[in-house]
Amino acid sequence: MKAYKDMTKEELQALKDELTKMYEDAKGKGLKLNMARGLPSAEQLDMEADFFNTLNPSVNFKSEAGIDCRNYGELIGITEARKLMGDMLEIPADNVFVFGNSSLNVMYDTVARSVIHGVCGSTPWCKLDKVKFLCPVPGYDRHFAITEQFGIEMINIPMKADGPDMDMVEQYVNNDPAVKGIWCVPKYSNPQGITYSDEVVLRFANLKPAAEDFRIYWDNAYAIHHLYDDKQDQLIEILGACTKAGNPDMVFKFCSTSKVTFPGSGIAALGASTNNLDFIKKIMTVQTIGHDKLNQLRHVRYFKDFAGMKAHMKKHAEILRPKFELVLAELEKGLGGLEIGEWTKPIGGYFVSFQAVDGCAKKIVAMCKDAGVTLTGAGATYPYKNDPQDSNIRIAPTFPPIDELAKALEIFILCVKLASVEKLLEA
């Protein structure tokens, strides 16, 4: 098929007229389709109905250490839950603090703690003139929302095929003491599905921060969210790498079971050095007596061990894989060769990242909405919702049933074509 940029004005105008008619017809169908967020589908949630049978009034509610999980105590989590989440994080249980249901909550509190109390004895950020965070882009909108809410200056770091631009990261971190952190989704990143290369991870581990309280916020949200058995990305374990490089305190690792069991009802964990955990425990002793140990116990009894968790994730992959393959097939069929868009081809995670013609993302998202397809807002994958090129769109194929996903993709491709034609005609 002929690339749009190679068409004459007359050909583009004729194509615009044709696409406009198709778009008006689509709007008349009254569709209500949602690809806005990376939610597990109802099919995935139904798969775990037996989870609720794990605890009942007749079972033993005591942990392996003899703690009655119905009562107060165990601020850092029951031993077996720390072991399970430690295996998920690939670190020893002694380096794990198990929290409530949400890793996002843990990340928010970690930033808030730094603002109010500082980091391991450093000056609280609220008393500093300037605090900065590095933000690999495109990235996770909820990360950026946290630092924005605390008035922290966010700096864009472009993502490459193997992770963030480490030349830029090193330049900022090693020379500017106001740089206190960097957001990272290191495996099957949100939204591109990129896994950081060995070189990138080792360069992170060997940073020489100008700020003693600089931390890497390593959100390994998709650590075990593979789509294939025979194609799986591998990621160097960052805490061990930092320790080996002489920087044991430099990283906070986050994970949860939100897309393993139930969003809103999972368990989350923070992995860090003993020094970091001791500081956090001291503050949290005042904040709470402990998190939901019954839920921790339920997760351990349900999975039994990390092998059980990985086996469970294969069931998720069987549901998600056809959806991702449909997205890639339809994008190639509908847009391949037209040179009006590029897209990632992830083998794990929850998203596909689409790069439209510069200046077209907001228009495409708005057109989709008018035709009954809700997408993540254009610009959301950048700090302050400001995509300088107005080109990135996050596609979230996990939630809709596959027949609805097919309809949504048809509308999306139509909108990409029409917006691109109109952009070229303006030139």
The H-or-E segment that residue 295 falls in is: helix 293-303
- Kindly tell me if the per-residue pLDDT of 315 is higher than 80: yes
What's the length of the chain?
427
341 phi and psi angles, rounded to 5 deg: 180, 150
Question: For residue range 49-87, what is the model confidence (pLDDT) as tens digits?
Answer: 889 889 988 899 999 999 999 999 999 999 999 999 999
Q: What is the pLDDT of residue 236?
A: 98
256 phi and psi angles, rounded to 5 deg: -160, 170
* Angle between the N-to-C axes of helices 293-303 and 306-335, in degrees from 0 to 180, rounded to the nearest 10: 80
Q: Please tell me the CATH code under which domain 61-304 is placed.
A: 3.40.640.10
Contact 107, 323 (CB under 8 A): no
Question: For residue range 158-183, what is the model confidence (pLDDT) as tens digits?
Answer: 999 999 999 999 999 999 999 999 99
Architecture of the domain whose range is 4-44+310-426: Alpha-Beta Complex (3.90)
Question: For residue range 231-271, what is the model confidence (pLDDT) as tens digits?
Answer: 999 999 999 999 999 999 999 999 999 999 999 899 999 99
What are the extents of the domains in the chain? 4-44+310-426, 61-304
Q: What is the pLDDT of residue 52?
A: 86
Alpha carbons 51 and 235: distance in angstroms, whole number: 29
Alpha carbons 363 and 36: distance in angstroms, whole number: 16
pLDDT category at 154 given cuts 50, 70, 90 is very high
pLDDT category at 427 given cuts 50, 70, 90 is confident
User: pLDDT exceeding 70 applies to what percent of the chain?
Assistant: 100
Instruction: Judge whether 4-44+310-426 and 61-304 match in fold.
Output: no
Q: What is the pLDDT of residue 280?
A: 98
* Angle between the N-to-C axes of helices 402-426 and 306-335, in degrees from 0 to 180, rounded to the nearest 10: 40
Beta-strand runs (E) in 220-362: 251-256, 268-271, 341-343, 352-356
Please give the span between the terminal C-alpha atoms of the chain, in angstroms, as a whole number. Answer: 22
- Kindly tell me if the per-residue pLDDT of 132 is higher than 80: yes
R_g of the chain, CA atoms, integer Å: 23
Contacts of 25 (CB under 8 A, 6+ apart): none
Alpha carbons 184 and 180: distance in angstroms, whole number: 13
Contacts of 419 (CB under 8 A, 6+ apart): 356, 357, 360, 363, 364, 367
- Kindly tell me if the per-residue pLDDT of 206 is higher than 80: yes
pTM for the complete prediction? Answer: 0.96
Average pLDDT, the chain: 97
Question: For residue range 19-58, what is the model confidence (pLDDT) as tens digits?
Answer: 999 999 999 999 899 999 899 999 999 988 889 889 988 8
99 phi and psi angles, rounded to 5 deg: -110, -150
